[in-house]
Structure 1
Amino acid sequence: MRLDRYLASVTDYSRNDAKKLIKLGDIYVDGRVVCDPKQLIAADADVTLMGNPLRPLGPRYLMLNKPQGIICAARDRRHSTVLDLLDEDNPERLHVVGRLDIDTTGLVLLTDDGGWSHAITSPQRRCWKTYYVETAEVIPERCIEHFARGVFLKDDKARTLPAELTIIEDRSARLKICEGRYHQVKRMFGAEGNAVTRLHREAIGYIHLDTDLAEGEYRALSTDEVASVFE
């Protein structure tokens, strides 16, 4: 890899800023100063910036407890994004695995590992997502059967895939779905003549939102949590 590209990939410097630093003689490769941004370096090269060793970032896997009013996007002119909540190097390299609406709270996963995120979002994998739901009207028992059979959503040609609904109280329930259609949970209850007043994602697959995380906080996933995606 070219030295300027390597430097930009492991720091917050842009490619132009990286070139300037290299030309100033602040970069050492395997103990020798290198002033040519085009210099090719080996993957295992020992690179230092002003004496500080630089290492490529490994894959990152994060869970975040998303508050209301935050959007799942890289940037937005009107609202704060989930990336704004992160204290990470190169946060722009991370992407959201399964977005949530601006008014939906709970578990959001972020990673820079495309293969890992695909294993979660691929329709063929049918990864279950668990939501806590509160509604404006009483949830009738018939919804359990309707959701298990699949419901037709407005403008969609096919029924939703079978879902698992557990009624907790008159106006609250836990719903597990294995697909991710646009506003799916809200539209499923809407098809039953009900409106969702609160929606909170509790789990994606075997990864459950850490109850110790306050809204807006995040942490790295454990090795077991990362591996659970492929189970």
Structure 2
Amino acid sequence: MRLDKYLCESTELSRANAKKCLHRGEVTCNGIVVKNSAFKVPDNCEVRFLGELVKARGLRYIMLNKPADTLCSNVDEVYPSVLSLLDIPKAYSLHIAGRLDADTTGLVLITDDGQWSHRLTSPVKVCGKRYRVQLAAPLPEDKIAELIERFASGIALKGEKALTRPALLEVLAPTEVLLTIIEGKYHQAKRMFAAIGNQVVSLHREQVGVIALDPSLRPGEWRYLTQDEIDSV
């Protein structure tokens, strides 16, 4: 890893300020002052900034239970960013892998590992996303089997020529269902139910791939992913 990046990952310094500190001779590697920002930090190297030992944080993988009225964005806008809920250094440098609408709640995955995030969200990957959906109108009991088949075959969304990819619809109650989709079209879940003449009242994401939202996390709470959860992507 480049020394300037190492400093960014082990301190609150920005890349620009890290380079200035290097040029001032404030950083040593194994006791030797290094001013070259492109210097490659070897394994087991002792890096000190202003005499204090610093260690790179490494990659971070987080699950968060998103509350309503928050944004999956790296900036605060009309509503605050979900990143504002993370009490960790440089939270706003993290990437949100798979966004949710402001009024949608549930599982959000956050990381600074770009390759991991790409594997999770790439359209060529088959990564199911399961939502718990509350509907405005009850599903007709005599139409449930037909609706399950229709979702499995693909729904025609308004303004789009191609059908949605196969989706799994599980009916829990007349106005409560589980919906698993393997793509992420704009407002897809809401538009799928609008296409059958219904309306989504609330939408809560419970699972992405095999990573399920930890039931111990209350809205706004988060935890780091386990190694098994990281390796599942």
TM-score (ref. length: structure 2): 0.89
Matched to 2:41, the amino acid is A
Q: Does residue 187 of structure 2 align to residue 183 of structure 1?
A: yes
CA apart distance, 1:96: 0.8
Q: How does 1:93-172 map to 2 (within 5 A)?
A: 93-140=93-140, 141=144, 142-172=146-176
Alignment partners' CA distance in 2, 1:87 and 1:177: 32
CA apart distance, 1:78: 2.3
Higher mean C-alpha displacement, 145-154 vs 135-144: 135-144
Alignment partners' CA distance in 2, 1:145 and 1:5: 51
Among 214, 217, 223, the residue aligned to 1:213: 217
Conservation of the 8 A alpha-carbon contact between 1:70 and 1:79: yes
Conservation of the 8 A alpha-carbon contact between 2:2 and 2:41: no
SS of 1:201's equivalent?
strand
SS of 1:198's equivalent?
strand
> After superposition, what is the alpha-carbon deviation per residue over 1:34-70, rounded to whole angstroms, capped at 9, x for unaligned?
5x36573533332112443222232211100000000
Conservation of the 8 A alpha-carbon contact between 1:147 and 1:163: yes
- Number of aligned residue pairs: 228
Q: Which residue of 2 aligns with 1:48?
A: 48
CA apart distance, 1:122: 1.4
Conservation of the 8 A alpha-carbon contact between 2:9 and 2:58: no
SS of 2:42's equivalent?
coil
Please list every run of at least 4 consecutive aligned residues from structure 1 whose deviation after the TM superposition is greater than 6 angstroms. Answer: none
CA apart distance, 1:101: 0.3
Unaligned runs of 5+ in 2: none
Percent of aligned pairs sharing the same letter: 47
Q: Please give the root-mean-square deviation of Cα atoms over the aligned residues, in Å.
A: 2.0
